[in-house]
Structure 1
């Protein structure tokens, strides 16, 4: 894309003896196919339901494309990792246990044979993440992949808005922005825009991109977010950024300056544009409709009051389409309880708590701030969105957070020989040390 935002180079620092150290955290640059596989995983999670498109696309075709993307992502991940080297982590272990729980709940076919297909999809999804976990090294590699791919997803949305504004802002959705070239709902667009805005802001604060490169991502994404009128995504962006920036305040002057400017701008907006902000936030809804969270509370009450067996309470009814009585559940925790039972709820809660606990224990850094933002966003969005218990963008967000929380390598000074300086990237693990002695993981500049 030619954006400075996508720079992956790492700075070097000389030590006291004149040796040049690689302060990066990666033993080797990941193959380009790793980014391609990550993009295909994102394509798979876009789903097949959404607004009407300008050129009608059969749902079967969309499902074939998204499922084909998942299979291709798994094959690519296997191709670049034929030796099946993985990086174990608490996140992947708990996600694998969630897969087992999903298979157990779906094996009784209470939700039909479709539940087994969804388990197979989740199996490929988790398998691809295991294969890609080899390159989870605490660096910002997957943050850049995440931003790049979701920005590419938003480009057709912006193009559709230009080509056919009426179709992109349909009355059926209350004038909210939808995808009219590829079927995307307002909450989906809002989520993608909010996530890449937050991550790009953090990269800019951490001086890992230029202001121009950041503006190219942030400005159009913010416009799309505003046009979706998605309250959950907006609150997740604001609260997640506040927590992430707060984690950097004690160690970063740029973070302190950014936080101060945000506070000032927030006060100005609250005083001068309170009426417009209230109108945008309510989206023309009545107080009763707003209080019931656009009707969600009625579905939640019906689901919780329905009679269930002990087995259904523990294991759920199997993976489904995240609906109850023909209506969307729109709450991750209730959807998990319905489909994977209390066991699924416990496993997903453990994923969030473990990632959050690790993030709190890490020393202040930009990767840690990005992880805090992603975890916070997923927790906030889980109240009115589904996805934490199945293959979804939210599990990809948490996967990026897990890749950021891997303990980084410590730079070890190596004296440079006379006449030429050498830069060595030392491995961080016993396995990496063994492969380094063979040559592939040792990078000599």
Structure 2
């Protein structure tokens, strides 16, 4: 067996990490789920992920990772601010959760080799999450499109909010499109993922996810334009389609982005600006200024902060902001220094998406899907293991066939140089 081959159980551990970050609050489900039950499932998933990762990596072999190292340092201000219990015992519980989350990433870093393995795990697992959302909509359209959310799509089987669903859809759409551009999957398999995910994204009316998807794809595909004819063709067709959509569907696009809100409500980001101003104006001690008030539920005076930087400032102080900024800068800097490649393009997409979403969504300072997106980016930017990763072409002549599965039967032309997602 290839020593560099990633065990299938690693994908299971990754799925458990994703389950842990799905959250315990959101829309009302068809069958009411007690919050205690949801928290038991999500925390059990985290413990399961750590246990499985430890069983797979009993010798504690890890790959050097500036990303996970910075997350480890982020535990310091989190513990300092949470120790005085100003935010309650829940703050220490969240610190413990973050510690186990980071420890699991360390254990899984053994298989970070610059290949696309974790990209495929990410797509498959989040697509399964979206499938549960679609199933809930089919079973009970009224519960999946409630008036309390303005008719936006929510999770009717598991309590997921429209921004969460939009985020998952945008990320897997972007990654799948990049796999197609890089000829690492065929168009038929990609369409089965992209088309329903795009429909889900549109039904969530999540502007941040849509903008993150578009900006991330422009930057990612732009990084391939000089070296990939497929990227140039895709860029040209995308630009043409965007121009046609802007001219022919301008009013529909404008209505979709406004979501029935007034111009004033749209300009102050649906009330977010008021919470931000109040948070910045609140008095703080020197300790709170530097280390925050402790890990909480990313809210201020009972209202969601909805900004990663202000949430980190509130809970982990200026020290936390410096560490989170270092995470984004280091990952972005490493991506820019890498030669053009598909893994680099996927990393650029994930980093740019998280950076843009951080303005209106919280999550960069605690265990969250955003940290998992950045972990995938870190795995893509890791130096290949000795002998190359499972996804790494071994010679230039093998570059287009490195993802083919051995087969004696004749492979159709559409499936050559590709692998299903």
Question: TM above 0.5, one fold?
Answer: yes
Q: Which aligned pairs between 1:241-280 and structure 2 lie closer than 5 A? A: 241-280=217-256
Q: Which residue of 2 aligns with 1:134?
A: 110
Pairing partner for 1:358 from 329, 334, 346: 334
Q: Confirm whether residue 282 of structure 1 aligns to residue 258 of structure 2.
A: yes
Pairing partner for 2:28 from 20, 27, 52: 52
Q: Which residue of 2 aligns with 1:62?
A: 38
| Cα deviation, residue 408, structure 1 | 2.8
Q: Which residue of 1 aligns with 2:398?
A: none
DSSP 3-state at the match of 2:201? helix
Supply the distance in 2 between the matched residues of 1:127 and 1:33 (Cα, whole angstroms). Answer: 17
Q: Which range moved further: 177-186 or 28-37?
A: 28-37
- Deviations 1:126-145 (CA, angstroms, capped at 9, x unpaired): 00000000000000000001
Q: Confirm whether residue 226 of structure 1 aligns to residue 206 of structure 2.
A: no
Q: Which aligned pairs between 1:285-364 and structure 2 lie closer than 5 A? A: 285-364=261-340
Number of matched pairs: 387
Q: Confirm whether residue 118 of structure 1 aligns to residue 90 of structure 2.
A: no
Q: Which residue of 2 aligns with 1:417?
A: none
Q: Which range moved further: 154-163 or 256-265?
A: 154-163
Q: Which residue of 1 aligns with 2:77?
A: 101
Alignment RMSD (CA, Å): 1.0
Supply the distance in 1 between the matched residues of 2:225 and 2:188 (Cα, whole angstroms). Answer: 23
Supply the distance in 2 between the matched residues of 1:71 and 1:410 (Cα, whole angstroms). Answer: 31
| Cα deviation, residue 88, structure 1 | 1.4
Pairing partner for 1:92 from 68, 82, 91: 68
Pairing partner for 1:407 from 376, 383, 394: 383
**Matched-pair contact (CA < 8 Å) for 2:351–2:374:** yes
| Cα deviation, residue 108, structure 1 | 1.4
Structure 1, unmatched stretches of 5+, are 1-25, 413-445
Supply the distance in 2 between the matched residues of 1:59 and 1:208 (Cα, whole angstroms). Answer: 40
Q: Which residue of 2 aligns with 1:441?
A: none
Q: Confirm whether residue 40 of structure 1 aligns to residue 6 of structure 2.
A: no
Q: Confirm whether residue 240 of structure 1 aligns to residue 216 of structure 2.
A: yes
**Matched-pair contact (CA < 8 Å) for 2:73–2:323:** yes
Pairing partner for 2:160 from 176, 184, 189: 184
Structure-1-length-normalised TM-score: 0.86
Supply the distance in 1 between the matched residues of 2:384 and 2:337 (Cα, whole angstroms). Answer: 13
**Matched-pair contact (CA < 8 Å) for 2:4–2:385:** no
Pairing partner for 1:148 from 118, 121, 124: 124
Q: Which residue of 1 aligns with 2:396?
A: none
| Cα deviation, residue 27, structure 1 | 4.9
Q: Which residue of 2 aligns with 1:7?
A: none
Supply the distance in 2 between the matched residues of 1:108 and 1:358 (Cα, whole angstroms). Answer: 37
Structure 2, unmatched stretches of 5+, are 389-421
- Deviations 1:243-265 (CA, angstroms, capped at 9, x unpaired): 00000000000000000000000
| Cα deviation, residue 92, structure 1 | 1.1
| Cα deviation, residue 288, structure 1 | 1.1
Supply the distance in 1 between the matched residues of 2:364 and 2:228 (Cα, whole angstroms). Answer: 32
| Cα deviation, residue 162, structure 1 | 1.1
